[in-house]
Amino acid sequence: MSNSTADPQCCGTMPVPMLDVNRQNEPLRAEIDAAIADVCRSGAFVHGPACRELESAMADYCGSKHAVGCASGSDALLLSLMALDVGPGDEVIIPSFTFFATAGAVWRLGAKPVFADILPETFNIDPTDVARKISPATKAIIPVHLFGQAVDMQGLTAVAGELPIVEDAAQAIGAEYQGQRSGSLGKLGCFSFYPTKNLGGFGDGGMITTDDQQLADRLRILRDHGQHPRYHHHVVGVNSRLDTLQAAVLNVKIRHLDASAAGRKHNAMRYFEEFNRIGLHDALGIPGEAEHCQSAWNQYTIRVPDGRRDELQSHLAAQKIGSAVYYPVPLHLQECFSELGYEPGSLPHTEKAAEEVLSLPIYAELSSAEQDCVVQAIAEVFGIAYLADAADCAA
């Protein structure tokens, strides 16, 4: 580590975007263009060969026997619950500190989301609180591997017993728990290919992984209006297809996923070292990897206590540095769920996290100079002089 200060001429003038998907996609343009051209030439825009290729690549990547493509991560959750026959009268236990889709899928099927609190260290669902909330009506549990870090699956499976676990792995492709990848840790695993995800397409897309042949067969029928064979409907499904064009793009990108994951991890470790070095480790809650976990680092989410989060975010914005709050309003306090009767204070760790979290740029293509500017801007708010590697404005 050198002792030159992060270049003030550079920091503050050089924008540091929260995410720049073009930096990831541009180096792959020739490969992606060729893959898209192949689909255009074939004319097989729906359920084409690229879809089956991606399903097979995803099953291999996640260590699952089967993978079923669908139109989005939200649909992956919906279809998984449909395959488990979740419906009116059923309860599904989920975290409240997550993206809306986790709860939306439960609600859309007429079932009741039952919100469990999180563990403050990992932001992930607390198995002890899940145990408290299991009732005779509980039909499934959806743990969310938030920000790329796997849930305490050992703790969760111990309390779940026979209840099926549907992993919401939308943010956690490649994340590992006890050496096993997300998507292979529960009964079903749900993935999103939304462009900001670690494996992001050029639009919407999703995938469900499972080791259960019967569930996989059911999912293939449900995603196609419930027809099997064609024009014969024994169940009512939905139209949730993964476009062949998206699959073609993702087949290219999945080959580069490990390299991109290594870049994210490198940046996470570098933040850790820098925040530690300047003594901000205690003032900020710095994320780490929990026991048995290898995070996919979809987000690098710090905690800013003492009501200073918004001030810090404004300071970053003034320095043209992107950041984001995932998520400012916990789901149990959303207006659309008011009839469930949750009061403020009912999930204290979730509510505290919503007040404190701030996600910083973490993508693999983030340069060291950009990262130094992020750290410098944060150090300024806490009145700390930051000595960084020589910042290279052109990086």
Ligand X SMILES: Cc1ncc(COP(=O)(O)O)c(C=O)c1O
| Candidate residues 64, 70, 93, 99; the one interacting with ligand X per rule CB under 6 A | 99
Angle of helix 244-254 relative to helix 29-42, nearest 10 degrees?
A: 150
Do residues 248 and 38 touch, judged by C-beta distance below 8 A? yes
**What residues numbered 34-73 form the site for ligand X, per CB under 6 A?**
72-73
3-class SS shares of the chain: helix, strand, coil, % to 5: 40, 15, 45
> Taking CB under 6 A as the rule, which mask of x and - marks residues 200-229 in contact with ligand X?
----x-x-----------------------
Question: Looking at this protein, which amino acid is placed at residue 89?
Answer: G
| Residue, CB closest to ligand X | 73
144 binds ligand X (CB under 6 A): yes
Cα–Cα nearest to 174, from 76, 110, 265: 265
Closest CB to ligand X among residues 197, 349: 197
| Candidate residues 24, 80, 124, 171; the one interacting with ligand X per rule CB under 6 A | 171
Q: Tell me the closest approach of the beta carbon of residue 101 to ligand X, in angstroms.
A: 4
Q: Find the DSSP H helices in 120-227.
A: 127-133, 153-160, 213-222
125 binds ligand X (CB under 6 A): no
Q: Tell me the closest approach of the beta carbon of residue 321 to ligand X, in angstroms.
A: 22
Question: Can you tell me the distance from the alpha carbon of 222 to that of 238, in angstroms, rounded to the nearest whole number?
Answer: 6
Closest CB to ligand X among residues 206, 285: 206
Q: Tell me the closest approach of the beta carbon of residue 366 to ligand X, in angstroms.
A: 20
| Candidate residues 24, 96, 102, 124; the one interacting with ligand X per rule CB under 6 A | 102
194 binds ligand X (CB under 6 A): yes
Closest CB to ligand X among residues 100, 272: 100
Closest CB to ligand X among residues 76, 391: 76
Closest CB to ligand X among residues 150, 283: 150
Distance of CA 20 to the CA centre of its chain: 17
Q: Please compute Rg for the chain using Cα positions.
A: 22
- Choose the stretch contacting ligand X; rule: CB under 6 A; options: 1-9, 94-102, 247-255, 370-378: 94-102
CA angle 241, 244, 246 (to 5 degrees): 90
Question: Can you tell me the distance from the alpha carbon of 248 to that of 23, in angstroms, rounded to the nearest whole number?
Answer: 19
**What residues numbered 70-89 form the site for ligand X, per CB under 6 A?**
72-74
- Please name every residue paired with 360 in a beta bridge, in sequence order, or none if there are none: 300
244 binds ligand X (CB under 6 A): no
CA distances in angstroms from 53 to 2, 60, 90, 123, 247, listed in the order given: 47, 11, 36, 34, 8
Closest CB to ligand X among residues 123, 386: 123
168 binds ligand X (CB under 6 A): yes
What is the maximal distance between C-alpha atoms in the chain? Answer: 71
Residues that bind ligand X (CB under 6 A): 72-74, 98-99, 101-102, 144, 168, 170-171, 192, 194, 204, 206
